[in-house]
Structure 1
Amino acid sequence: MGFSPPSLSFILFLFHFLSTISSSHFCAPDQSLSLLQFKESFSISSSASELCHHPKTESWKEGTDCCLWDGVTCDLETGHVTGLDLSCSMLYGTLHSNSTLFSLHHLQKLDLSDNDFNSSHISSRFGQFSNLTLLNLNYLDFAGQVPSEISHLSKLVSLDLSRNYDLSLQPICFDKLVQNLTKLRQLDLGSVNMSLVEPNSLTNLSSSLSSLSLGDCGLQGKFPGNIFLLPNLESLDLIFNDGLTGSFPSSNLSNVLSRLDLSNTRISVYLENDLISNLKLLEYMSLSESNIIRSDLALLGNLTRLTYLDLSGNNFGGEIPSSLGNLVQLRSLYLYSNKFVGQVPDSWGSLIHLLDLDLSDNPLVGPVHSQINTLSNLKSLALSDNLFNVTIPSFLYALPSLYYLDLHNNNLIGNISEFQHNSLTYLDLSNNHLHGTIPSSIFKQENLEALILASNSKLTGEISSSICKLRFLQVLDLSNNSLSGSTPPCLGNFSNILSVLHLGMNNLQGAIPSTFSKDNSLEYLNLNGNELQGKISSSIINCTMLEVLDLGNNKIEDTFPYFLETLPHLQILILKSNKLQGFVKGRTTYNSFSELQIFDISDNDFRGPLPTGFLNCLEAMMASDQNMIYMNATNYSRYVYSIEMTWKGVEIEFPKIQSTIRVLDLSNNNFTEEIPKVIGKLKALQQLNLSHNSLAGYIQSSLGILTNLESLDLSSNLLTGRIPMQLGVLTFLAILNLSHNQLEGPIPSGKQFNTFNASSFEGNLGLCGFQVLKECYGDEAPSLPPSSFDEGDDSTLVGDGFGWKAVTIGYGCGFVFGVASGYVVFRTKKPSWFFRMVEDKWNLKSKKTKKNVGRYGARGN
């Protein structure tokens, strides 16, 4: 029987295939062994890769051809490994200098990006890969210094060391890189510390360079202008080098430049005709918070290839140029944090490809429907912090691809309608004037990560238990509304990824969630200002990541919850204005409450002596925090913590909390006996309130050690003896209330004490001093050192709180009251001793004020 034509063709093909295989080599044995040993030196961890997850080494099996392994490329003639791509492979461990990776001498391309090498140092042995043309060590958690041996890789065309935030590059090493890597076309050193490198060192970069990325490198000084003129330069990224100066040229530019990012630099950019005509091929342009001079934004309408435009944070005024409607290829447009007025231009209806639009933080007004209702491809829309005073446009509820919607801080009115899609991942409608119930469609957004409907005041109804179906929810903030009913029991354990739960300032009743699941991610729990009853569940100790717990202003009946001391990261604990009772004893575990920065158990029924052992544990109140940042959720960093707190005698809700703040408030309880000396250890305290208790004995002189103290309230107790002179050195003390005790003797003078009026000392009949209009006799008469205006600036401690201006007003009122009193005494011919005292103090104060007025004025700016 003969072969049919198809069978013969197959045989011929098989013969050709086998002959091809026989003429090539499999992976060399030593190469295979090296790769397997390299694999064994790392573990696989899902947290080791962030951008993508592809554990390529799992396909590496002994006894198989390594040239067929995932991520491995071989020379088919020699069997040598020439390429290794292990990006996103979830590798975790240390890359040692004796790693078998360095025995792969024939490598031409090596990509290890997006793994976790656990603060390894970049080995000098990388310099042995003499054939490398591509080296990508991006985002590997490398630390230390870049070795100079990297400069030996003279064949490199692409080098990426970016996003290794603890990595530094020294000037000598950088000079060698520039001199030796003459074939470089792509260089990315983003986030590598180059603060010691002179920008002028860049002048010798290869003329073949097509992409240069030096973002967030700490560069200082004048950026060399010739870099902008490199003939092949297509992409330039210098973002987040706020020490860089210089000028971006308007002429002689490379006509191939397609990407330009000068955001957060001080490099001058002149938006003029010459520049625009030289940037015709530009597709990506970011000048956020940059140094734009003599700008004509309308000219940007000529850059018709733009797909990305960011002009945020530049204080541009006037109306938004209608010419931007010419940029029909735009995918992303960011104009937030400017001063644009008026409405969104009608011409924007042509931006049909727009995916991301952010016009936040501008005084724009509505309506918005006619301008952007045709942008059916929008995925992200942010119009927050504007002056829109209309109902939410109906078309927003119908956009099929919309996943991010932020309309907070406007004057929007009306009901929240039902969404006609389920693609939302982020929804923020807070701080508007919306009313009605929460639409059920919100609870059907299966991928929703953040739901923020706070501060609308008029949202009513109950919180549906359907909310617990949102298994990806990380932030839930429904605070400052009129929601009623009980808190859904499932809120304590429905999602292990929930970081923020804020239901404060509503009309919720019933019990606090009683079951908090283990291994949850809760960092912020705020139920303040409701009518919740019952006890505090001990299962809250399962919230091991909890940083803020605010249960204040409820009807909780319980004893002090000692089990909370086991929470290792608790920084803010507010239990004020409940029905808590009993004693507050010392610690029972090591390091209990050591992270507490704000502790408020005021207005309860706690009794007994102040807990000395407990105060000894407050380590965070013993040391100041120099990080001037607002406290925010770690797992969802865009969410900034807020609390309600009594600050300098005024009840305020703070939408932001500075990490430096330290507050201890034990007021309005039944604490007895003396103020313990150990309280002087809390040197970082800025506010101490022990008022309205039954504390007896002397005021401890150790309070004078609290040099950061801005507010001290010991009023309405049974304190006796004199006011310690040591309190007179508290130069930041702006608020003092020692009223209604049994104090006697002279009031300390000088520093801040000269700014306090009689109300700070009333109800202490034994006190004397000019503040209470009672002379002290003999050697008890207080002297009058110069007044100090150095009261500290608390405006940075808490967002939208009271600052130095309020303190100055208080001082001014007290001063006017004193002068007026003296004048009345003089006109009514009261005792001459009082006239002499007031006159002497006035003369001395006038002389000192003239000397200090400049310093005071400077602090006030």
Structure 2
Amino acid sequence: MTGHVIGLNLHFGGLQGNIHSNSSLFSLGHLKRLDLSRNDFRGSPISSKFGGFVNMTHLDLYYSNFSGPIPSEISHLSNLVSLNLSLRDVRLDTLSFNRIVQNLTNLKELQLIGVDMSSVVPDSFKNLSSSLTTLRLSNCHLQGKFPENIFRLPNLRVLSLGFNNNLTGSLPNSNWSSPLETLTLSETRISVDWHRLTRNFKFLRALYLSNCNFVGSHLAFVGNLTQIMRLDLSSNSFGGQIPWSFFLNIESLVYLNLVGNNYVGQFPEVDSNSTLISSLYDFSKQQLVGPIPRHLTELILYDNQLNGTIPSWLGSLPSLEQLSLVSNQLSGNIIEFQSRSLSSLLLSDNNLHGLIPRSIFELENLTDLDLSSNNLSGTVEFEKIVQNLTNLKELQLDGVDMSSVVPDSFKNLSSSLTTLRLQNCHLQGNFPESIFHRPNLRLVDLSFVGSYLAFVGNLTQIIELDLSLNSFGGQIPWSFFLNIESLVRLNLGGNNYVGQFPEVDSNSTSISSLYDFSKQQLVGPIPRHLTFLYLYGNQLNGTIPSWLGSLPSLEGLNLISNQLSGNIIEFQSRSLKILYLNDNNLHGLIPRSIFELENLRYLDLSYNNLSGTVEVEKFSKLQSLFSLDLSSNHLSLSFNHLSNNSWPQLYSLALSSCNISEFPYLLRASPNLESLNLRSNKLHGLIPRSIFELENLTDLDLSSNNLSGTVEFEKFSKLQSLFSLDLSSNHLSLSFNHLSNNSWPQLYSLALSSCNISEFPYFLRASPNLDMLNLSHNRIQGEVPKWFWDVAKDSLYYLDLSHNFLTGTARHLRWKNLGYLNLHNNSLQGELPIPSPSTFFFSISNNQLTGEMPPTICSLTSLVVLDLSNNKLRGKIHQCIGNFSQSLSVLDLRNNKFHGVIPGTFSKGNILRNLDLNGNQLEGSLPPTLLTCRELEVLDLGNNKIQGTFPNWLESLPKLQVLILRSNKFYGEIGIPETKFPFQKLRIMDLSYNRFSGLLPTKYFEHLTAMINSQEHELKYMGEGYYQDTVVVTIKGFEIEMVKIQTFFTTIDFSNNTFRGEISKVIGKLKLLKGLNFSHNELTGTIPPSFGDMCNLEWLDLSSNRLFGDIPEQLVNLTSLEKFNVSENRLVGTIPHGKQFDTFDYDSYSGNVGLCGLPLSKTCGAHQPPPSSFQQEDELEHGNGFDWKVVLMGYASGVVIGISVGYFVLSNGTTDWLVKVIGRKQRCRNVEITQRRT
């Protein structure tokens, strides 16, 4: 290059590295035009040398990855006509901006998109050049009042102020004619007066007003914008009918975006000769009903609630170029398409089935085809895709059955292919390596396909590679990945990799963003040169390495849901924008450096053990912070120093379980707040007015507090943006009197559990978009009103009416898309209702249903949980019950009147986890197909009439933890194991009340690993988040229903059989055993002294056998023992005394004529020890009867202290009761329970 160069265009030139001050670029003194846009200068600063180009008229550094402050020397370029410094990590202060404004008087185009101008005073814009034609300031963090005179600049054609959330102001009121052609005010707080807008901006061709918080319909003046071509009114609160009469008068309109409003109604009928609205674009997330106009170029209707079939005439629209019906509820076959102009066909995430029509393979102009996530079947004519669709750029067929496709067919795919997704397509054979040589291929997703990593290194131009959700294991093959210079995003989530990250060279550009290594077992050092590090959902432990806080380029760190401990490290990187450390075991103080991360936008420290006092004011000084979550720690929060206007940018605040007793005053200082979560605190008194003044609020959770007083529900409905509200578990009195029928159409989620409601709120009739409704644990009684069955029948997904007093029938389940339905614990009668086939959770337990199980139960193919327990249902269990839903995890038919045999139709590959058929009248033998239930954890078949010998073949079920065969007709010897490691996970084994005989199964006892040692170190319960396992077991002589099963609860009950022979000392190895009951058998021999090693034993019942010899003194060491019964045997000698043995009464030893000593009246001679103080107290309190106390206590330790301490936690409130006691009443001093002697 020579010094006489006047123009240099290096746009998208592939330049990388720094531009140093001695660069030859700055020797080009005559340069007038310089374009360095779309290059990568690695975050280096903009050199002050740019100010030396005194002849420069056009300078473009758009998205060239510079960082730091814009040098003031730019203001020396006084001849500049066009300046584009749109950069993401660049700052511009008031002083530098004022110099630019003062010196660059010839500027016509000024573009600063993404530049941090948060410190620039809006008044600085007043002096901008009157010759300005283009001003783009989107996403610049501008705040304050924008000057009105900018709108009046005489030559201004383009003004873009969007995405400055704290920018206020208004349009000028005076009459004048603006030359503006493009105006963007999206996501600002600038007040828009429709009359002023349409009166003064008549030349507008593009108007973008997305998310401007408009309320109601203010579109009467839109028709005056006679030249408008592109109109974006998305994400506002417009409702009612779409005002087509306005739009159809605008002949120039080609782009209309009304996404994210509350419109209902039909499309218009567009005249076939009309050119207007040739592209009805982005009507997504509306409730549009009716015919689709027949003369369209683009039809994009993603994420609606369209159902039924795709209309056949849609395939014959002659001009159709783009069709997107993604994420609806469309069913039926895919129609034939005749339009040869179709270039984009997106039909994913529906319920379409059948074959892919041949006509699709003849759409020669097709560039994008997405048929994924449907139920398509049959043979895919993939060869025709290869032969005919030569222009394909994106091909997505996730979930399409391609098992018949020969992998070699992929060899000839279009060379223009950029995206290929074939997730879960059942492909078989060797995948052709040549597919990865496609020159334009940018994204490959072969999830669930198999192992194809041998040729990953050949993807020389790949930028994004997604291999998630496979079964890849071993070491991550970094030798392949690190040879791909272009790779910046790599997703290996959901595999089984172990090992260490590589050490990435500091000068390397490869893998600048190691993204989504989630759900791996990653061990070892984390590479030090990263932009984004996402490691959520792993098993990382230990402390966070300190060097991680000094990574200079780090923008996003996500360590959610690991096992990290220790203190939070200090963070020095000022580029950090995302910091997610929630759901770990971190403790200590929040480090000071976090309050200095000036670019931080999202901070989540919730669900840790952080402590100390936190001045919330410090967070408010982070001017970029949008979202803060400190929930569920041990912090003490102080709001004392927050001023009224201190936190305007905050839009999401979560402080649940933070011990807050008063509503924080900062709510008054956060007018833009959209999401507020104060759940599970100590808030009391009335809900303050300030809550109802948060006009932007979309999500409010005040549940589980002590709020009181009467609340006029109408106040919430006036929050026009509010779509999610949870007031559950307070002491509020809710009044629905003043709610009109049409007051809350935007309501999406409503939870009013435990709110003392006595009737169904009538306003629900006017909530057609309701997705989630929880009215559980109230006082609603009587029959469900007829109108309620039609509430949100097209949208309702979650409905919980449990724990009320509902009566009548529940036949009218009209909700088409219901996923969760809980009617548990009411008084509903009649036949079993059948919900929508889309339902995954259905509980109607604890009601009074009668009749047989209808065959339509077999249509619920999506069920995960089916709970029909505690009703009066009868008849046989349908054969389909074992295979009608491949996703079925819980089948609970306990305590009904079903008879016949257990269906033998459990299919291979099922995921059944809990099978509970207890308390019916089932007969026959166990079906051997139970062996296909490899995920089974709970098998409860107690209290039936099932016959046969012991099903020792169940010992091979790898996850079985609970086996209850109690009170059936099983017989014979148990025998010896048939496998090497039988019942390794078993923790509850109840074979009582059968006719088993022979010797005790010593070989089985030797292998009960879960009763010998355990990895459990904290209180956990069996089951899943939406369902808790329940069993009835005999504990210390009581029949107890455990509504939650603790994962370290262990018991063996072989009572009431005819076992004989001696008790093996091997049983003493079961150190984790809580209860052992061998009573009412024919056992002989002595009590093994090894029983003294079962240190966690709390009850031991060996009564009614033929045991002889002494009671071993070693049993005195069982300090947790509360119930001990050896009555009705042939034991002799002195009863041991001391510790727990001083608490047992006469009934524990009666019927043994050879025993002597207290508490028996028979003495052992002159050396009888005196009674203990424990025994004296017990006699004073209880007289001659044995009595038990149940008190409230934690059970984490498993050690019982004292003689009156019971066993379970009784939680406050609602569904978390752990104990129900069943049987005859017996007097008790503190708590009445029932007891059944066994």
Indicate how the Cα distance of structure 1 residues 772 and 332 shifts in structure 2: closer, same or farther if over 3 A, else same: same
2:859 alignment partner AA: K
Indicate how the Cα distance of structure 1 residues 206 and 23 shifts in structure 2: closer, same or farther if over 3 A, else same: closer
Structure 2 residue 638 is the aligned partner of structure 1 residue 243 = no
- The alpha carbon displacement at 1:643 in A equals 1.1
2:998 alignment partner AA: G
Task: Indicate the larger mover: 713-722 or 53-62.
Answer: 53-62
Structure 2 residue 827 is the aligned partner of structure 1 residue 436 = no
- The alpha carbon displacement at 1:96 in A equals 4.4
Q: Pick from 440, 459, 468: which aligns with 2:858?
A: 468
The superposition leaves residues 120-177 of structure 1 with CA deviations (integer Å, 9 ceiling, x where unpaired) of: 5444418556699977447353634663724xx6xx6x77555555275224432556
Contact conserved, 2:587 with 2:608, CA < 8 A, in 1? no
1:312 is aligned to 703
Task: Indicate the larger mover: 543-552 or 166-175.
Answer: 166-175
1:491 alignment partner AA: I
- The alpha carbon displacement at 1:451 in A equals 1.2
Cα distance in 1 for partners of 2:780, 2:1052 equals 41
Contact conserved, 1:169 with 1:192, CA < 8 A, in 2? no
- The alpha carbon displacement at 1:761 in A equals 1.8
Indicate how the Cα distance of structure 1 residues 144 and 594 shifts in structure 2: closer, same or farther if over 3 A, else same: closer
Structure 2 residue 927 is the aligned partner of structure 1 residue 537 = yes
Q: Pick from 746, 750, 766: which aligns with 1:374?
A: 766
Structure 2 residue 545 is the aligned partner of structure 1 residue 170 = yes
Indicate how the Cα distance of structure 1 residues 95 and 782 shifts in structure 2: closer, same or farther if over 3 A, else same: same
1:614 is aligned to 1004
Indicate how the Cα distance of structure 1 residues 663 and 235 shifts in structure 2: closer, same or farther if over 3 A, else same: same
1:255 is aligned to 648
Cα distance in 2 for partners of 1:269, 1:117 equals 45
Greater relative contact order, per chain length (Cα 8 Å cut-off, separation 6+) = 1
Q: Pick from 722, 731, 752: which aligns with 2:1119?
A: 731
Mapping of residues 430-579 of structure 1, within 5 Å = 430-440=824-834, 442=835, 445-456=836-847, 458-579=848-969
Mapping of residues 61-140 of structure 1, within 5 Å = 61-66=435-440, 84-86=463-465, 90=469, 93=472, 96=476, 98-102=478-482, 110=489, 112=491, 116=495, 118-119=497-498, 121-125=500-504, 128=507, 136-137=515-516, 139=518
Cα distance in 2 for partners of 1:654, 1:161 equals 37
- The alpha carbon displacement at 1:182 in A equals 2.3
Mapping of residues 645-660 of structure 1, within 5 Å = 645-660=1033-1048
1:417 alignment partner AA: R
Cα distance in 2 for partners of 1:548, 1:91 equals 29
% identity of equivalent residues = 33
Task: Indicate the larger mover: 687-696 or 748-757.
Answer: 748-757
Indicate how the Cα distance of structure 1 residues 62 and 587 shifts in structure 2: closer, same or farther if over 3 A, else same: closer
2:805 alignment partner AA: N
Cα distance in 2 for partners of 1:579, 1:270 equals 61
Task: Indicate the larger mover: 719-728 or 788-797.
Answer: 788-797
Cα distance in 1 for partners of 2:525, 2:606 equals 17
2:580 alignment partner AA: L
- The alpha carbon displacement at 1:496 in A equals 2.2
Task: Indicate the larger mover: 608-617 or 88-97.
Answer: 88-97
Greater fraction helix: 1
- The alpha carbon displacement at 1:653 in A equals 2.4
Cα distance in 2 for partners of 1:796, 1:352 equals 43
1:283 is aligned to 674
- The alpha carbon displacement at 1:644 in A equals 1.8
1:402 is aligned to 796
Contact conserved, 2:1102 with 2:1126, CA < 8 A, in 1? yes
- The alpha carbon displacement at 1:800 in A equals 2.7
Indicate how the Cα distance of structure 1 residues 602 and 254 shifts in structure 2: closer, same or farther if over 3 A, else same: same
Indicate how the Cα distance of structure 1 residues 281 and 600 shifts in structure 2: closer, same or farther if over 3 A, else same: same
Q: Pick from 806, 813, 823: which aligns with 1:412?
A: 806
Contact conserved, 1:55 with 1:88, CA < 8 A, in 2? no
Contact conserved, 1:791 with 1:807, CA < 8 A, in 2? no
Q: Pick from 520, 527, 552: which aligns with 1:141?
A: 520
**TM-score w.r.t. length of structure 1:** 0.78
Cα distance in 2 for partners of 1:225, 1:369 equals 38
Contact conserved, 1:756 with 1:811, CA < 8 A, in 2? no
Contact conserved, 1:632 with 1:638, CA < 8 A, in 2? no
- The alpha carbon displacement at 1:23 in A equals 11
2:663 is aligned to 271
Aligned to 1:752, what secondary structure does the other structure show?
Answer: helix
Structure 2: gaps (5+ residues)? 1-9, 17-396, 400-419, 424-430, 446-458, 553-569, 1176-1200, 1211-1215, 1232-1238
1:355 alignment partner AA: Y
Q: Pick from 1026, 1040, 1050: which aligns with 1:662?
A: 1050
Cα distance in 2 for partners of 1:207, 1:808 equals 67
Aligned to 2:1147, what secondary structure does the other structure show?
Answer: helix
Cα distance in 2 for partners of 1:423, 1:68 equals 36
2:982 is aligned to 592
Contact conserved, 1:170 with 1:197, CA < 8 A, in 2? no
- The CA RMSD over aligned residues, in Å, is 3.8
Cα distance in 1 for partners of 2:604, 2:1138 equals 57
Contact conserved, 1:45 with 1:91, CA < 8 A, in 2? no
2:778 is aligned to 386
The superposition leaves residues 439-496 of structure 1 with CA deviations (integer Å, 9 ceiling, x where unpaired) of: 35x2xx121111111111x100111222122111111111111000001111122222
Cα distance in 1 for partners of 2:1225, 2:812 equals 48
Contact conserved, 1:215 with 1:237, CA < 8 A, in 2? no
Contact conserved, 1:703 with 1:727, CA < 8 A, in 2? yes
1:800 alignment partner AA: L
1:801 is aligned to 1219
- The alpha carbon displacement at 1:782 in A equals 6.5
Aligned to 2:717, what secondary structure does the other structure show?
Answer: helix
2:1139 is aligned to 751
The superposition leaves residues 327-349 of structure 1 with CA deviations (integer Å, 9 ceiling, x where unpaired) of: 22112112234343556675496
**TM-score w.r.t. length of structure 2:** 0.55
Contact conserved, 1:560 with 1:584, CA < 8 A, in 2? yes
2:1135 alignment partner AA: I
1:858 is aligned to none
Cα distance in 2 for partners of 1:499, 1:740 equals 44
The superposition leaves residues 225-265 of structure 1 with CA deviations (integer Å, 9 ceiling, x where unpaired) of: 45422353342333455133332453252211111122344
1:421 is aligned to 815
Max Rg structure: 2
1:36 is aligned to none
Cα distance in 1 for partners of 2:700, 2:890 equals 33
Aligned to 1:718, what secondary structure does the other structure show?
Answer: coil
Indicate how the Cα distance of structure 1 residues 233 and 227 shifts in structure 2: closer, same or farther if over 3 A, else same: farther
Structure 1: gaps (5+ residues)? 1-21, 29-43, 47-52, 72-79, 814-861
2:544 alignment partner AA: L
1:358 is aligned to 751
The superposition leaves residues 404-431 of structure 1 with CA deviations (integer Å, 9 ceiling, x where unpaired) of: 1111222222211312232111111111
Cα distance in 2 for partners of 1:486, 1:137 equals 49
Q: Pick from 632, 636, 642: which aligns with 2:1022?
A: 632
The superposition leaves residues 170-191 of structure 1 with CA deviations (integer Å, 9 ceiling, x where unpaired) of: 244325567653234x213334
Cα distance in 1 for partners of 2:983, 2:444 equals 50
